[in-house]
Structure 1
C-alpha cells in the first residue's frame, strides 16, 4: 500500500512540476534567473534517505524516464541522473545519522549534483550551448536554493506516507 501511495504522491509532484510551478518560476516573469522546479527529484532523494538506495534507484529510474519522455530532448539523461542521485542519497543515509536537517542538506547537495550531471550530459550532446559559469550562476544555484526550500513540504509528505504504512522505517528520522 505504501508503494502505491508514494507513487501517487510522486505522480502528483510530477504534475505540479509541469504545470503550476512553471508559472511561478522567475523566468515566466522575464527574469534572467531560471528556476528548474524538481519536486519529484526531491521526493526521490528523501524517499531513498528513508527507505534505502534500492528504492531510490527504482523510483529514480522510473520517474526520470517519464520525465525524459514528457519533457526531455534526449531520452535517458534524466533517467540515468535521477536513478544515480537516488542511489547516492540512499548511500548517504547509511553513512550519517539522519534527521530533518541532514535530509534537507542532503537534498540540496544531491539537487546540485543532479543539475550538474544533467547540464554535463546536455553539453555533451550539444543540446545546450550555455557556458558553465552562466549556467551555474543563473540556473543551477537558484534552482538548488528554491528546490531545497520546496523540499521541506515534500519531506513532510514522504515522511507521513512512510510513517503511516511502515513506522519502523522512520526510527532514524525521529
Structure 2
C-alpha cells in the first residue's frame, strides 16, 4: 500500500495544477504574466531528494508522460526533462534532507533548469512562441513566484509522507 502513496501524491499534484489552478489563475490576465504551475515537478524533486534517483526518475517519467499526452503534441520533451531534473536533484547530501531551506533552494534551481530546458528544446524545434527576454520576464518570474510559494507549502507534508513510508518499511523489515 505504501508503494502507491508517492505516485498517487504526485498525480494529485498534477491534477491540482491542471484543474484548480486554471480556475484561480486563468491564462488571460492584465499583467501579461504566464502562470505555469509545476506542483508535480516539486513532488518529483522531493521524491528524488528523499527516495533517491531510481524512485525520482520513475516519478519524473510518469509525470512527464502525463504532461506529454495531456498538454503537448510532441511526445518525449517533458518526459525527458522531468526525468533529467529528477536524476540531477537526487544526488544530494544527507544534510539537505534535514533542511527545508536547502530543499527549497534545490526546488527553486530545478524549476529554473526545467523551464530553461523546455524553452530551449522548443526553441531548437522552432515552436517557442516567446523570445528569450519575454520568456524570462513573462514566464520565468511568474513561475518562480507561484512555484516557490507552493514549494514552501509542500515541504512539510511531503517530508511527513516520506518519514511515514520509511517507518513502514522499517516495521516490515523486522
Alpha-carbon distance between aligned partners in 2 of 1:103 and 1:42, rounded to the nearest angstrom: 10
Using the alignment, how far apart are the partners of 1:59 and 1:151 within structure 2? 17
Q: Relative to structure 2, which stretch is displaced further, 129-138 or 155-164? A: 155-164
Q: Which residue of 2 aligns with 1:82?
A: 82
Deviates more, 1:151-160 or 1:139-148: 151-160
The SS at the match of 1:166 is: helix
Measured in 2, the distance between the counterparts of 1:34 and 1:6 equals 29
Query: Alpha-carbon deviations, 1:121-160, whole Å to 9, x = none?
Result: 1111122231111101110122022201101222222212
> In 2, are the aligned partners of 1:64 and 1:79 still within 8 Å (CA)?
yes
Q: Which runs of 4+ in 1 moved over 6 A?
A: none
Q: How many residues align?
A: 168
Mapped to 1, the partners of 2:166 and 2:68 lie a distance apart of: 31
Aligned to 1:94: 93
TM-score by length of 1: 0.89
Gaps of 5+ in 1: 170-174
- Contact in 2 for aligned 1:48/1:56 (Cα 8 Å): yes
Alpha-carbon distance between aligned partners in 2 of 1:96 and 1:126, rounded to the nearest angstrom = 42
Higher deviation after alignment, 114-123 or 17-26: 17-26
Matched, 1:165 2:165: yes
Contact 2:96–2:103 (Cα < 8 Å) also in 1: no
How far, CA to CA, are the matches of 1:95 and 1:129 in structure 2? 41
Task: Show the counterpart of 1:39.
Answer: 39
Aligned counterparts of 1:156 and 1:68: Cα–Cα separation in 2? 29
Q: Which moved more, 1:50-59 or 1:77-86?
A: 50-59
Match of 1:172 in 2: none
Structure 1 residue 26: deviation in Å? 5.9
Instruction: Give runs of aligned pairs for residues 101-140 of structure 1, distance below 5 A.
Output: 101-140=101-140
Q: Give, in angstroms, the shift of residue 35 of structure 1.
A: 1.1
Q: CA RMSD in A?
A: 1.9
> Paired residue for 1:18?
18
TM-score by length of 2: 0.89
Structure-2 residue corresponding to 1:63 = 63
Cα distance 1:148–1:30, how it changes in 2: closer, same or farther (>3 A)?
Answer: same
Cα separation, partners in 2 of 1:160 and 1:96, compared to 1, 3 Å: closer
